Each structure stands twice: as structure tokens, then as C-alpha cells.
């Protein structure tokens, strides 16, 4: 298959979990014989201009890279990128367009208008993130609704997210959890660059954004009597104001160290030398950093949100989300009681989580192939023939013989009668199709509007003959 990836910032990059997933997934899909193209954003790196110079890269281990010029504006970055990347992908001859995250998923209806098969991976409820304003929040929720309504397949990362889509949109999803590669033996020499030694610090590593709850960790640490340092590693992601607030909060405490963005050998050294790892997030999809910390055998402390507790299970420690006193109590208990034999997470990470990237790629491939078989692309001549066929199809009577992907997104349940768009509907009689169980029936308040629409269709049918009157 020929696949396009849209929604990340850029690869190769560690700016966020989405970038790590897209890079690993694309590499493994290429290894299985698929042709993969990723659309990178040509914009500012979260770590600064020193990491921006990658636009010359057009091939990464067989993965084709296309660069999309994108403004640095926080409000316009994702919207402009998603639109232009989708437009370019529409004319690339792709079998599947794979959208990552809720913002880019707003372009799914556009892709469906051109007959493209769309897969959407929801990496988290982005509209809940505190860094977004009113317009961005509404746009992200719009993308979520478009994915739920028009995407051929939706992939989620956790059981709680799967339940959310079932309850909110009555939409079935596929759960494919994140995974990581096995870590190599780390060289601890880079720790001296930050004035650190093995087992001398508590580590947070991730994007510096409000939903990560780093302010809870700093407040709890201020109240903790310990000689262990607190290391906060990561770069800001459109949240420079929050980053400056954290530095002001930590000012005067020499024990708190900000490393800024790290990758490569310094990143591995920070994981390998940590006394424990803490992730006090209010909101997550499935944190890659937590999986990586567990793979290094670290004792992990997280908030009690389902996305973190599902990963750790009984191999980590959890505190009440947003409760600074509970976090301080837990850190105080682990300060003296922690020993090397209690480095919880090694068994779960090494025996269960590490094979996940391979398994994830297999699951993506299987999901895409199943949909390809279920919704085969129709030849152009068949589509032209169907336009000349006058068939009445009631939305209340739709059959499983009609492929879901054959419908245009503009053909919603409001369209009670329309010409057939499936080879299964060719002929004089319309197939009888039950209402889609994932879509609720129209509310009583909408019934008058539906009646008026029926009347317009009947009048149109009398005039032009394209829409036969209902029987």
C-alpha cells in the first residue's frame, strides 16, 4: 500500500510522543514493503533554532519526507499545516491517508470528498489541554467530531479513550497501545554536564506544558527535605509563558535543575541514572516517556489518571491527580524506603512493553488491509456508470452489502433519498439497509426540518427526474 502520514511536527524528532510514534511506525511499515510518505512541518523546533536544520532531509531509511511551510503562530500552525499537507496528499495517489491527533483530523471530510480512505489515530483529547485558547479548543473538538463521523478507522491508545468514543459518539474504535524499543546500555558520562551523579536526582522528562503538572511537582519538592535534586528535562511546546513561570517558581532553590531539550546520549544517561521518575500529568494519551523510564528499570511515580495507571499497573506508584500534599507524602516515603531491588517497572517494561512497536506496526497493517478488503476502491468507469443510474436509496434502509467508504461525507442522514454510490446498488431495486447503529436517531426537534427536506426532494424529482419520488 501507499500511505501518507499527516499530523506530526517532523521526523526524526523527539518533540513529542506523536513524532516518536510516527517515525517508528513509518520505518516498520516500509520494512514490510509499504510505501510511506510523511509530511513534516517546516517551522520552528520547540528546542530552538539549533534543531531546525533538517529541511534538506527527504528520505529516512526508505520513508519519503515532504516538507510543508508552516507559520510559527500557535493558533495557525496546525490548521495551515493540516490543510496544505492534505491537499498535497490528495494528488499523491495514496491508498490510505493516516491522520495523527485531533487537529489534523479536521481535514478528514476533505479527503473523503476525493474518495480517499482515512485512518485517524487519537493520541489524546487535545482540546482539554490548557495551552490552547478558545478558537483552538473549538477547532480541536471539531476535528474530533469529524474523525468520529467520517474516518474509516479510528485508533486509540487506551481503554479509557475507547470508552470515551463509545459513550460520546457511539463509535467503535481500535485500541493499539504505544510501544518502545529496548534501551541499550547507557553511558553516564553526560550526567557531569548537568552536575549530576547516578541516583542523585528525581527526574521529570517531557514537554513543558501545563497539563504535565510540573508545577505540582515543584510545589511538593519545595516541601520535601532531601538532598536529591529535581531535574526537569524538556522543551516548551507553544508554552513559553508557562516555562518562565516554572523557572520563577524554582528560583532560589539550587536543587532544581532545568536541562532544556535533550536527546541522544544525554537523554539515555538521564533515564539510566535517575533515582526515580515522576510524571504528575493531568492529561495524557499514552506517555512514551513513562514507557521509556520503565524500560530503564526506574521506580515510577505518576498521577492516578487511567492513561498512566494502565501502563504502570502494580509496577509503579500513583498519587491523587493535582494533590500536592499526596505527591509530597509519596515522595517522602520513597526517599528513604527506596532500594535497588524495588525499582518497580523493569519486569513490566522489559517483558511486556518492549515488543509493542513491532506489534503496533502489525496491528496498523492488519487494520488497513481489513479496511482495504471491506472498502475496495471503485474504478472510474464504474463511478461514471453509477452517476447515470437512477436508483432510490432510503437512509432508513441501508444494507451491509454497500461499502461504508463508498459514501461521500456530504451524504449524511439528512439525505433521505439520493442516487446510489455503490456497485451493490446498481439495478432497478434499492437494497434494504438498517440504520447505522453508531448514529443516534434524529431528535424530535429536527423532524420538521426533515419533512421539509423530503418535500424539496419530491419537488426536485418532479422537475428534473434525478431524484425519484419516495414510494
Q: Which three cell numbers stand for residue 283?
A: 492529561
- Which CATH homologous superfamily contains domain 189-352? Glycogen Phosphorylase B; (3.40.50.2000)
Helix 240-250 and helix 214-222, axial crossing angle in degrees, nearest 10: 0
Radius of gyration of the chain (CA): 25
Q: Give the pTM.
A: 0.66
CATH code for residues 2-179+357-372: 3.40.50.2000
pLDDT at 430: 42
CB 286 within 8 A of CB 160: no
Is 45 in a helix, a strand, or coil? coil
Is 372 in a helix, a strand, or coil? helix
Cis bond upstream, residue 315 (ω within 30): no
Q: Among positive and negative, which fits the CA dihedral 57, 98, 176, 279?
A: positive
**Residue 435 CB neighbours (<10 A):** 13
Q: Which residue has the cell 516515603?
A: 333
Instruction: For CATH 3.40.50.2000, list the domain ranges present in the chain.
Output: 2-179+357-372, 189-352
Q: Which three cell numbers stand for residue 163?
A: 470508552
Q: Which three cell numbers stand for residue 25?
A: 511506525
Dihedrals phi, psi of 420, to nearest 5 degrees: -65, 145
- Look at strands 417-418 and 393-394 and give their pairing: antiparallel
pLDDT at 271: 92
pLDDT in tens, the chain (471 residues): 899 999 988 888 888 888 889 999 999 999 999 999 999 988 776 655 555 556 678 898 899 999 998 887 767 788 889 999 999 999 999 999 999 988 899 999 999 999 999 999 998 887 777 666 677 788 888 999 999 999 999 999 888 889 999 999 999 999 998 888 878 777 888 899 999 999 899 999 988 888 889 999 999 999 888 889 999 998 876 677 888 889 998 888 889 999 988 888 899 999 999 999 999 998 887 888 899 999 888 889 999 888 888 888 777 889 999 899 999 988 888 876 544 444 444 444 443 343 445 555 566 666 556 555 555 444 444 444 444 444 343 333 333 333 443 333 333 333 333 333 333 333 444 444 455 566 677 777 777 887 887 777 777 665 555 555 555
Is 419 in a helix, a strand, or coil? coil
**Residue 171 CB neighbours (<10 A):** 17
pLDDT at 159: 87
pLDDT at 136: 79
pLDDT at 154: 94
- What distance in Å separates the CA atoms of residue 121 and residue 100, rounded to the nearest whole number? 5
Phi-psi sector, 345: left (phi>0), alpha (psi -120 to 50), beta: left
Exposed, middle or buried: residue 318 (CB in 10 Å: 0-12, 13-18, 19+)?
A: middle
DSSP E strands, 11-151: 35-42, 59-60, 63-69, 96-100, 117-122
| Cα dist from 389 to 379, 429, 466, 469, whole Å | 16, 11, 9, 15
Amino acid at each position: 500500500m501507499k500511505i501518507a502520514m499527516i499530523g506530526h511536527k517532523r521526523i526524526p524528532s523527539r518533540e513529542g510522543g506523536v513524532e516518536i510514534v510516527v517515525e517508528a511506525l513509518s520505518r516498520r511499515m516500509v520494512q514490510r514493503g509499504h510505501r510511506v510518505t510523511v509530511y513534516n512541518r517546516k517551522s520552528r523546533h520547540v528546542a530552538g533554532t539549533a534543531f531546525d536544520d533538517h529541511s534538506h532531509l527527504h528520505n529516512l531509511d526508505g520513508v519519503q519526507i515532504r516538507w510543508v511551510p508552516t507559520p510559527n503562530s500557535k493558533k495557525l500552525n496546525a490548521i495551515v499545516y493540516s490543510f496544505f499537507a492534505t491537499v498535497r496528499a490528495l494528488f499523491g495517489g495514496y491508498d490510505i491517508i493516516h491522520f495523527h491527533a485531533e487537529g489534523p483530523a479536521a481535514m478528514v471530510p476533505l479527503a473523503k470528498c476525493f474518495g480517499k480512505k482515512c485512518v485517524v489515530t487519537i493520541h489524546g483529547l487535545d482540546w482539554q489541554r490548557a495551552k490552547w485558547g478558545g478558537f483552538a479548543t473549538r477547532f480541536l473538538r471539531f476535528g474530533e467530531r469529524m474523525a468520529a463521523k467520517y474516518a474509516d478507522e479510528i485508533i486509540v491508545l487506551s481503554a479509557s479513550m475507547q470508552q470515551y468514543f463509545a459513550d460520546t459518539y457511539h463509535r467503535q474504535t481500535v485500541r493499539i497501545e504505544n510501544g518502545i524499543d529496548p534501551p541499550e546500555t547507557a553511558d553516564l558520562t553526560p550526567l557531569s554536564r548537568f552536575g549530576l551523579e547516578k541516583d542523585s536526582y528525581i527526574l521529570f522528562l517531557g514537554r513543558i506544558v501545563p497539563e504535565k503538572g510540573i508545577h505540582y511537582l515543584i510545589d511538593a519538592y519545595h516541601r520535601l527535605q532531601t538532598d536529591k535534586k529535581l531535574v526537569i528535562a524538556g522543551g516548551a511546546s507553544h508554552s513559553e509563558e508557562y516555562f518562565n513561570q516554572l523557572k520563577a517558581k524554582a528560583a532560589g532553590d539550587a536543587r532544581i535543575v532545568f536541562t532544556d531539550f535533550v536527546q541522544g546520549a544525554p537523554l539515555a544517561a538521564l533515564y539510566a541514572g535517575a533515582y526515580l521518575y515522576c510524571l504528575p500529568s493531568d492529561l495524557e494519551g499514552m506517555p512514551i516517556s513513562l514507557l521509556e523510564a520503565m524500560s530503564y528499570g526506574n521506580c515510577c511515580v505518576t498521577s492516578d489518571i487511567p492513561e498512566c495507571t494502565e501502563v504502570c499497573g502494580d509496577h509503579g506508584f500513583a498519587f491523587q491527580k493535582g494533590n500536592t500534599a499526596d505527591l509530597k507524602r509519596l515522595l517522602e516515603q520513597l526517599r528513604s524506603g527506596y532500594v535497588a531491588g524495588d525499582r518497580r517497572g523493569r519486569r513490566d517494561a522489559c517483558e511486556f512493553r518492549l515488543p509493542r512497536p513491532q506489534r503496533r506496526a502489525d496491528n496498523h497493517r492488519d487494520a488497513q488491509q481489513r479496511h482495504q478488503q471491506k472498502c475496495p476502491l471503485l474504478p472510474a468507469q464504474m463511478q461514471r456508470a453509477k452517476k447515470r443510474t437512477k436508483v432510490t436509496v432510503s437512509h432508513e434502509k441501508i444494507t451491509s452489502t454497500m461499502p461504508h467508504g463508498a459514501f461521500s461525507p456530504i451524504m449524511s442522514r439528512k439525505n433521505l433519498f439520493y442516487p446510489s454510490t455503490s456497485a451493490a446498488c446498481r439495478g432497478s431495486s434499492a437494497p434494504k439497509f438498517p440504520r447505522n447503529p453508531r448514529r443516534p436517531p434524529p431528535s424530535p426537534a429536527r423532524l420538521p426540518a426533515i419533512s421539509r427536506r423530503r418535500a424539496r426532494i419530491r419537488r426536485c424529482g418532479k422537475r428534473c427526474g434525478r431524484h425519484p419520488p419516495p414510494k
